[in-house]
Amino acid sequence: MSSILKNTAVVAAFTSLSRVLGLVREMLQSRLIGAGYEQSAFALAFAIPNMARRMFGEGALTAAFVPVFKGELEADESLVRAKRLARAVLTMSLMMLGCAVLVAVLSLTAFLHWPWREALSPRLALTVDLTRIMLPYMVFICAAAFGMGVLNAFGKFAAPAMLPSILNVVWISALAALCLCPGLSTHAKTMSIACAILLAGLLQMAFMFRMMAKKGIAPRLTRKGWRDGTTRLVWHNMAIACIGAGAVQINYMLDQVLAQKANPWAAGVIGYADRLMELPLGVVGTAFGTVLLPTFSGFFAKADIDGAKNAFQSSVRNMLFVVLPCAAGLVVLAPELTSLIYKGGAFDDIAAVRVARAVACYSLGLAFFCLQKTLTPWFQAQKDMKTPLTVTVRLVFANAALNIASVWLLPVEWRHVGLAASTVLCAAAACMWLWILAVRRNGGMGTVGLAAAVAKMLCSALAMATVVHILRGILAERDFAAGAAVAMLVPVGAAVYFAAEFLFDRQSMRNIVCEFAGRRARRNR
């Protein structure tokens, strides 16, 4: 399993870079834009191309394409069939997305030129303007995501993992330039950031196309292969996956709308909390999910079910070993981390408290978010899109109901926390459901052994959280700054967790360390 850990470490390293850049970006944007209606409008407008990326690019298309493409690579060393499949799917995808974006941009432009523009609220008018600018980003990022799937199928993970950093570098450069223009209005600054995102998408697509060409599959528009059986299989599976991914994204957009209903600032606050959560989620959960889809696909293409199970069990154990202490630390240190990263300029104490509450709530579901990214590829690698679809669609309705209840029943300052809590509860339900279905389909998944190891990890994480909470109170009494407190408490918490894990489960910890070192784990003595 050392190759999985090696590839995961590569993805995690570049994802860490991207997440750190993303936090720098959010620190600058929070100070320039604040947490008012401009940020809420921007968050909603950017959510639309992001929805397409998650649903179509990195979601349904990748899930449907990679297992079939991996099978072609295993069966055809000359790459003739693989090239034909990749180019056919890419051509059809770009044509479909391009037409959809063109129609949407023209429709929004016509909408803004109707007489009722003056009657629109400033937030709604700005949202429509920003959406019109950023919609073409959807084509660029989905094309780039397709290139990521091609490279991942080849076992190349470094270049795809670098892709988000391109967006962040361009975005940060735009924010830095805006810092030199203090006379610009917040409206003008927001519009400038939207234009920078469009440029970043074009660069991302060009970069991934170049990487594809280096692997012998130069992107080229073609009409050949549209009716091939493999192409039809990709589109059949993608149609099923799109329904599930679409349901998730519709639910996400509903969350945004309900957040706007809950409070004018709620969507922006949830966006800031989500950005903070993306650091551990991307470094661990997304990294494992990215590596495991082509890995599982390879095992199932060779009918090696035992190898797939071993990879799954090892990955889950290693993932939770890292995620559980991260979640516990985020719950305890949410106020300090939020103040350290965001506070300043237009981001005041009240905004920091609101974001910290959402971060603490999201942190309780971090393990479930990561585990879901490991369970879903298990089914997708078997070319089964219907099982994740069934689970997703049913839980979408549950999530929507919980969100509506949160908006109507909770106090004003806690409604956004209710939205976060419903996401956590539904993620936990999805993990339990998918695990049960995986056991029914493929037999034992090592549930008993994993449960015992996870229980010990939870005890270690709880011990760490207790110590950090006590020390946090002591430092607060002595008026330590947020940055100094975090700098002291994080290494102390890590030391306590490793010491507790060594005490509770010495052999499992030794096995994990051996796997990370690339060596075969020693036998139990």
pLDDT, tens only, 485-513? 888 999 999 999 989 988 887 776 776 66
| Whether 483 contacts 340, CB under 8 Å | yes
Cα-atom radius of gyration of the chain, to the nearest Å?
A: 23
Number of CB atoms found within 10 A of residue 122's CB: 11
| Whether 416 contacts 270, CB under 8 Å | yes
Single-letter amino acid, residue 340: L
- Residue that has been written with the tokens 């494992």 in this structure: 288
The DSSP 8-state label assigned to residue 281 in this structure reads I
- The number of C-alpha atoms within 13 Å of 464 and in the hemisphere containing its C-beta is 31
End-to-end CA distance of the chain: 21
What distances in angstroms separate CA 255 from CA 2, 270, 440, one per listed residue? Answer: 39, 10, 33
Which tokens in the block code for residue 22? 């993303």
What distances in angstroms separate CA 334 from CA 323, 359, 386, 434, 463, one per listed residue? Answer: 16, 6, 37, 30, 18
Q: Select from 139, 160, 126 the least CA-distant residue to 15.
A: 160
The DSSP 8-state label assigned to residue 414 in this structure reads G
| Whether 380 contacts 293, CB under 8 Å | yes
Single-letter amino acid, residue 463: A
Indicate the SS3 state at residue 118. helix
Q: How far apart are CA 279 and CA 126, in angstroms?
A: 29
Q: What angle do CA 21, 23, 28 make, to 5 degrees?
A: 95
| Whether 257 contacts 32, CB under 8 Å | no
| Whether 229 contacts 184, CB under 8 Å | no
Q: Select from 454, 189, 482 the least CA-distant residue to 321.
A: 454
The model's pTM: 0.75
Q: What is the pLDDT along the chain (525 residues), one digit of tens a residue?
A: 557 777 888 888 888 888 788 878 888 888 887 767 778 788 888 888 877 776 665 667 777 888 888 877 777 666 788 888 889 988 988 898 899 899 988 888 887 777 666 666 777 788 888 888 999 998 998 889 888 888 888 888 888 888 889 999 999 999 999 888 877 887 888 889 999 999 999 999 999 999 998 888 888 888 887 888 888 888 888 777 777 666 666 676 677 777 777 777 777 788 788 878 877 877 788 788 888 888 888 888 788 888 889 889 888 988 899 899 999 999 999 988 888 888 777 777 888 888 999 999 999 999 999 998 889 889 988 888 888 888 888 888 888 889 888 888 888 888 888 888 998 999 999 999 999 999 999 888 888 888 888 999 999 999 999 999 999 889 888 888 878 888 899 999 999 998 998 888 777 677 666 665 554 444 444
**pLDDT tens-digit series, residues 284-338:** 887 888 888 888 888 887 888 888 898 898 889 888 998 999 999 999 999 888 8
